[in-house]
Amino acid sequence: MEFLEVFKGRRSIRSYKPDPVPRAVIDEILAEARWCPSWNNTQLWEVVVVQGDALEKFKSGQLEKLASQAPSEPHIPTPEKFPPKWHQRVMQVGISCLKAKGIGKEDHEKKNQYFQEMFTLFGAPVMLLFLLDEELNLPYGMMDIGIFMTGVSLIATAKGLGTLFLSTVIRYPDLLRTLFAIPENKKVVMGFAMGYPVESDPINRFERQRIAVEDFVTWME
Ligand X SMILES: Cc1cc2nc3c(=O)[nH]c(=O)nc-3n(C[C@H](O)[C@H](O)[C@H](O)COP(=O)(O)O)c2cc1C
* Listed ranges 25-33, 60-68, 131-139, 160-168: which one lies at the site for ligand X (CB under 6 A): 160-168
SS3 135: coil
Residue number, 29 or 122, with CB nearest to ligand X: 122
Which residues have CB under 8 Å from 78's CB, separation 6+?
A: 72, 167
> Applying CB under 6 A, what is the total number of residues that bind ligand X?
12
Q: Indicate which single residue of 165, 173, 201, 205 sits in contact with ligand X (rule: CB under 6 A).
A: 165
| Binding flag, residue 208, ligand X (CB under 6 A) | yes
Q: Are 187 and 39 in contact (CB under 8 A)?
A: no
Residue number, 31 or 95, with CB nearest to ligand X: 95
Cβ 147 to ligand X, closest distance in Å? 12
Estimate to the nearest angstrom the gap between the alpha carbon of 42 and the chain centroid. 23
Cβ 201 to ligand X, closest distance in Å? 13
Q: What is the CA radius of gyration of the chain?
A: 18
Q: What is the 3-state secondary structure (H, E, C) of 44-103?
A: CCEEEEEEHHHHHHHHHHHHHHHHCCCCCCCCCCCCCCCCHHHHHHHHHHHHHHHHHHCC
| Binding flag, residue 12, ligand X (CB under 6 A) | yes
Q: Indicate which single residue of 107, 167, 179, 180 sits in contact with ligand X (rule: CB under 6 A).
A: 167
| Binding flag, residue 166, ligand X (CB under 6 A) | yes
- Going by C-alpha positions, the residue among 179, 177, 202, 201 that lies closest to residue 188 is 177
Residue number, 31 or 67, with CB nearest to ligand X: 67
Which residues have CB under 8 Å from 35's CB, separation 6+?
A: 151
Q: Indicate which single residue of 33, 190, 194, 198 sits in contact with ligand X (rule: CB under 6 A).
A: 190
Would you give the binding string for ligand X spanning residues 113-132, x where CB under 6 A is met? -----x--------------
Where does this chain bind ligand X (CB under 6 A)?
A: 11-12, 14, 93, 118, 164-168, 190, 208
